[in-house]
Structure 1
């Protein structure tokens, strides 16, 4: 039934649940699932594309949970989500045509800077702050840029959306998390369409992991809404730092 043995499938399902939980709060679920997919025998392309399959379910569940609790208005955010999805699709289509080596060297530095911002910035809570960029400008330029990155490379997308919403849009941490999940769902969906066209995903394993993601994402989003910045900030710092260390390890 699965593309892997039963014991590996159970390991992947457990990883997907944990990834859904972490991703719904702070992003970085791919840190858990992609290495285990590769360990299970997937090629790098299969691992990335299967990760998109299962990640869509977790991101959608988290986005709907936040929307149902009033932390994001789907009616006002559909244009931003559409832009993010189209940009993610474009990035996935161009993944083999655009050189990304230079960006991969810069990514650890950027992620460490994001971790330091959320760790040491005083007064960073769930209250909205002053906007540094009009919403229309943010939607037109920042959203598709990060969505394109998600389809092209992927790691750290949630962190980039978070830092954009907090620093530029002036959102509080919980509100930023809610909007990040919506746009991350859209860019994941766009990226998945691009990868699916290449015939790369493990569909049965990816869809099964998606079910586990749903349960993890529901638990994670409810905990984030209950605890707000007290939970989101330290977990975001941890996931950004771990991702930076993993990228440095890969480069070395």
Structure 2
């Protein structure tokens, strides 16, 4: 596509900064960056590919911030990140040949369910609880499954990882957020490799937005570590509901098409 004007690049930088801030705390940054790229005139497939490039900077930045503060040990979690990337590779490959109408139809209801769960569980805080699933089983089943989802579709991946860590691994909210960013980084890597192979990554746009993502994630992760569950829980609930509304607001959403809205 033709070279993008500086003011459009600045707009995309600001959108990425906001997305990085929100994503480092509660996930859902893709619901800001992808529409922003579409508004800028970038075709849908290139928007998806470029989104994975710029997302690497946000998830990587947040991961480093949480690791430096001791909330996640990177060496211990690398197998999980690798399996998240592995799942995302197959998801992205599937996305190139299979329409995602079923996922699009179900996702808003899943996101609302996540919001309701966190909203109605007042005892969810920063303290770890009882683990309901062993580390090995969690690593080889839940992690690649969510990674696969991130590759094939994407929105809400952070919310799903958060839910899994809190309910199955027994993590406190802050610890779950820190580990979510590392696994999200892994799934971003896996999907990015596939999109790169298909040649749908716009490097100039991706790097400019990546800078915004990096800075936004640094700010957001510091806010999360300073305030903890007091900010993470409300933002997670609001983000999940906002994602559901945003998806349903699309006239091309399968449910709206089926119902003739």
**TM-score, normalised via structure 2 length:** 0.94
Q: Would you say the 8 A contact 1:3–1:205 is kept in 2? A: no
DSSP 3-state at the match of 1:144: helix
Where do 5+ consecutive residues of structure 2 fail to align? Answer: 257-261
**Distance in 2 separating the partners of 1:87 and 1:64:** 22
How much has 1:149 moved relative to structure 2? 0.5
Q: Look up the match of 1:154.
A: 154
The residue aligned with 1:5 is 5
Q: Which residue in the other structure is 1:174 paired with? A: 174
Within-5 A mapping of 1:44-83: 44-83=44-83
Q: Which residue of 2 aligns with 1:33?
A: 33
Alpha-carbon contact 1:18-1:216 (below 8 Å) kept? yes
Contact 1:91 1:149 (8 Å CA) reproduced: yes
Matches within 5 A, 1:210-229: 210-229=210-229
- Taking the aligned partners of 1:135 and 1:209, their CA distance within structure 2 comes to 35
Q: Tell me what 1:188 maps to.
A: 188
Q: CA deviation at 1:98?
A: 3.1
Query: How big is each residue's C-alpha offset from its partner over 1:64-84, in whole Å with a ceiling of 9 and x where there is no partner?
Result: 110111111111111001000
Whole-angstrom distance in 1 between the partners of 2:102 and 2:94: 16
Structure 2 Cα separation of the partners of residues 193 and 110 of structure 1: 28
Q: Is this contact kept in 2: 1:57–1:211, CA < 8 A?
A: yes
Distance of 2:234 and 2:75 partners within structure 1: 31
2:47 and 2:41 map into 1 onto residues whose CA distance is: 9
User: How many Å separate the matches in 2 of 1:139 and 1:98?
Assistant: 26
1:24 corresponds to: 24
TM-align CA RMSD:
1.1
- Using the size of structure 1 for normalisation, the TM-score is 0.97
- Helix, strand or coil at the partner of 1:42: coil
Q: Secondary structure at the match of 2:95?
A: coil
Cα pair 2:103 2:153 within 8 Å, conserved: no
SS of equivalent residue, structure 1 residue 160: helix
- d(CA) in 1 for partners of 2:219 and 2:173? 18
Name the SS of the counterpart of 1:72 in structure 2.
Answer: coil
Match of residue 105 from structure 1: 105
The CA deviation at 1:108 is 0.6
Distance 1:7 1:61 in 2: 25
Report the number of matched residues.
251
Consecutive unaligned residues in structure 1, runs of 5 or more: none
